[in-house]
Each structure stands twice: as structure tokens, then as C-alpha cells.
């Protein structure tokens, strides 16, 4: 029996990971610690509330006494750390929360694990795991060619990516200094079910369904490597189970696309699958180019050769298949989208979790 603490489990990737773990591994007891900020939606996991192997705790990873208490009372031997402020635009207008959560919060978790698991630097800890989920944005921006590898120098360009780079370095330091059994994954752009609609793909889906403007930064030719979220979660499990302690593994989708290509693909799928817009106008006509954001990295692309060679993982969902799955999910989840957009899912939180 593994006693697993997942931080940020009510968010996009965390909620998909929790579902996958509970479906695939009957021998895991899972505790989900989430502060329930604007992007942490408890309705993502409503159906798991009666599962005897699942416990939700509303709390902040920066709350050291709470984290230490959870590790002790639940006898936590494995931590998968998703909790983070993650939206680049928000980090530009309000960086303080990113420093607090992404750097200080990671430090609190590392210290709690070190104390609970006996990390003294004299001998490595091998029977526990601390997996830190990070991003390819720590590497900066690529030109027209080349790929990020695990040996690429860090060159963060936004407060968000700088905060994640800092947390990566802390995790690595705790392995080398205290023998903490850490693992780091740096992933490319995720998409799929339960993603908060400030991010590109759900934002475009929601706006296109409503006939609203589809904003695209700059010339739309910024390139990202798109990774279907369930593929990412499978990769995390592989790293958790088979990864070499102290190592970093890049996780990519092998799907480089310009932002404008992503938006056009969504428009075309919705024109096929959703009711037509008034007058039958194609949804591509809603695309509007807007002023680029400060420090907008031109291209990210992941070399995921290490995780394939060492652990046998590679993405199984093509971009076209993943986009159809994603658009289909949002078409079937109109109530979920409405609850997130108007904030009414917070009413659910007040009813179900306030005071716990």
C-alpha cells in the first residue's frame, strides 16, 4: 500500500492524475491537498468523495504545520507536487503569488518530507518518493530549430517560469544535500478535460461556442509542443515507479504547432460538431490578432528521448485525436464550463468544504 500525497489535485493536471491513479492502482491511498484558489475546482472530483481510498484536505502548501501533520497522520511515503500558480499573464501583472506558492510552498513541502523521512545527508532515502512537476518554460525560448533536453541551461523569461526554475533548483538541492529521493518532470503545454478556461484551448473553445472574438497574441506563430493531459499523467506514473532518483525527465507530446494552427483546428472541429453560428459564418472569422504579451517566448519544443529510452514512455495520443477528444469533452460539459466561467462552482465549495 502506497500512501500518496498529491498537492494541487483539484486543478487541471492534478485532477486527471488522481483519476488515473485510483483507476489503475488499487493499492494506493491518496490524499489531495489543495488550497482551492480560482483554478482549483472541487467539482472536478465530486464523484470520488465516497471513495474510501481518497481524502480531500483544503489547505495551503505554505502552511508548514498542516503539511507536517498530514505527512505524519497519513504516513505519507510518496508526494507528487502539482500545486502552483501557473498562468504567465497573471505572473506578469501579479508576481507575488507565484513567488509565495511556487518557491516558498515547494520549500515547505521539501522540509516537511526531510523531517518526516529522516533526510540527514548521511545516507540516501530509497523507500520514499518526492516527484516535482515542472514546465519546459524554465528553459527559455528556442529559435526555429533545436529541442529542450534535460541538459539545456535554464533561462526563464517570465515571473512564472522563474519561480518554477527556482523550485526545480530547490528540489535538486534537497536531493544532493539531504539525500531526499526526488524526481523532476518538465512537461510541454498540456491540454484536455478540466482545464481552466483562461488557458488557450478552453478559452478558444468557450469563445467560439458563444460567437465571441478569438484573441491570438502577436502574429500567432509562437510554437508550443502540445501534450494530451492523460499521456502526461501516464508519464508521471512511469517516472514515479521507474525513474532514477535525483534525475529530471522531460515529457513532451511530439506535437509542435503554431498557436494560430491550434485555434484554426478548434474552429474547424466546432464547425463540424457544434451548432452553426448565426448566418453560418465559419468560426475562423472570429479570430482577432491582439497585442503580444511582454516577454512572449517564441518557441518551445521538448526532446523526450530520455524518458522513452530509460522508462519506455512515449505519447500515445496524436494532436488531432487529442483535440477531438478535448473539444468533445467541453461540448458535453456545458454546465462545468458555465460554473467555472461565472464562478458558481465556488458555491459548491462553500456547501461542501467550508469549515472542514
Query: Angle between the 12-24 and 229-242 helix axes, to the nearest 10 degrees?
Result: 60
DSSP code, position 153: P
Active site residue 85: no
| Residues paired with residue 288 on neighbouring β-strands, in sequence order | 215
Active site residue 194: no
**Going by C-beta distance under 8 Å and a sequence separation of 6 or more, which residues neighbour residue 149?**
250, 303, 305, 306
Q: Which three cell numbers stand for residue 222?
A: 509562437
Residue reference for cell 488522481: 18
Q: Are 185 and 133 in contact (CB under 8 A)?
A: yes
**Going by C-beta distance under 8 Å and a sequence separation of 6 or more, which residues neighbour residue 322?**
191, 192, 226, 228, 253, 255
Active site residue 151: no
Q: What is the rounded CA–CA span in Å between residue 30 and residue 76?
A: 9
Q: Which three cell numbers stand for residue 218?
A: 502577436
List C-alpha distances in Å: 114 to 8, 84, 120, 193: 20, 20, 8, 34
Q: Which of 160, 194, 228, 345 is catalytic?
A: 160
Q: Which of 34, 77, 136, 231 is catalytic?
A: 136
Q: Which of 137, 225, 231, 297 is catalytic?
A: 137
Q: What is the rounded CA–CA span in Å between residue 53 and residue 137?
A: 34
**Going by C-beta distance under 8 Å and a sequence separation of 6 or more, which residues neighbour residue 293?**
88, 89, 92, 217
List C-alpha distances in Å: 218 to 68, 287, 295: 46, 12, 12
- What phi, psi does 173 have (nearest 5°)? -65, -40
**Going by C-beta distance under 8 Å and a sequence separation of 6 or more, which residues neighbour residue 227?**
187, 188, 189, 190, 191, 251, 252, 253, 255, 315
HSE on the CB side for 109, CA within 13 Å? 33
What amino acid positions are annotated as catalytic residues?
Answer: 136-137, 160
Amino acid at each position: 500500500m502506497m500512501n500518496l500525497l498529491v498537492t494541487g489535485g483539484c486543478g487541471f493536471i492534478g485532477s486527471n492524475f488522481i483519476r488515473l491513479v485510483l483507476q489503475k492502482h488499487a493499492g494506493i491511498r491518496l490524499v489531495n491537498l489543495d488550497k482551492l484558489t480560482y483554478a482549483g475546482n472541487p467539482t472536478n472530483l465530486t464523484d470520488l468523495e465516497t471513495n474510501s481510498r481518497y481524502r480531500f484536505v483544503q489547505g495551503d502548501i505554505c502552511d508548514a504545520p498542516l503539511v507536517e501533520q498530514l505527512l505524519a497522520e497519513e504516513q505519507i511515503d510518496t508526494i507528487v507536487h502539482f500545486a502552483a500558480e501557473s498562468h504567465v499573464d497573471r505572473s506578469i501583472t501579479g508576481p507575488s503569488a507565484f513567488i509565495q506558492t511556487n518557491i516558498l510552498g515547494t520549500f515547505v513541502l521539501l522540509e516537511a518530507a526531510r523531517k518526516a523521512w529522516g533526510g540527514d545527508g548521511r545516507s540516501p532515502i530509497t523507500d520514499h518518493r518526492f516527484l516535482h512537476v515542472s514546465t519546459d518554460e524554465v528553459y527559455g525560448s528556442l529559435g526555429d530549430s533545436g529541442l529542450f533536453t534535460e541538459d539545456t541551461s535554464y533561462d526563464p523569461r517570465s515571473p512564472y517560469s522563474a519561480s518554477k526554475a527556482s523550485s526545480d533548483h530547490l528540489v535538486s538541492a534537497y536531493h544532493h544535500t539531504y539525500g531526499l529521493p526526488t524526481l523532476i518532470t518538465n512537461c510541454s503545454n498540456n491540454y484536455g478535460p478540466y482545464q481552466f478556461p483562461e488557458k488557450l484551448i478552453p478559452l478558444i473553445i468557450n469563445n467560439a461556442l458563444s460567437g465571441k472574438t478569438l484573441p491570438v497574441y502577436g502574429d500567432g506563430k509562437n510554437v508550443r509542443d502540445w501534450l494530451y493531459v492523460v499521456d502526461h499523467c501516464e508519464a508521471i506514473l512511469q517516472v514515479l515507479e521507474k525513474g532514477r532518483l535525483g534525475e529530471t525527465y522531460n515529457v513532451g507530446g511530439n506535437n509542435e504547432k503554431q498557436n494560430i494552427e491550434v485555434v484554426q483546428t478548434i474552429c474547424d472541429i466546432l464547425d463540424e460538431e457544434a451548432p452553426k453560428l448565426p448566418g453560418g459564418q465559419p468560426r475562423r472569422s472570429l479570430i482577432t490578432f491582439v497585442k503580444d504579451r511582454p516577454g512572449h517566448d517564441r518557441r518551445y519544443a521538448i526532446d523526450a528521448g530520455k524518458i522513452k529510452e530509460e522508462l519506455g514512455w512515449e505519447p500515445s495520443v496524436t494532436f488531432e485525436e487529442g483535440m477531438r477528444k478535448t473539444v468533445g469533452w467541453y461540448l458535453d460539459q456545458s454546465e462545468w464550463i458555465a460554473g467555472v466561467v461565472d464562478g458558481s462552482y465556488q458555491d459548491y465549495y462553500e456547501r461542501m468544504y467550508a469549515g472542514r
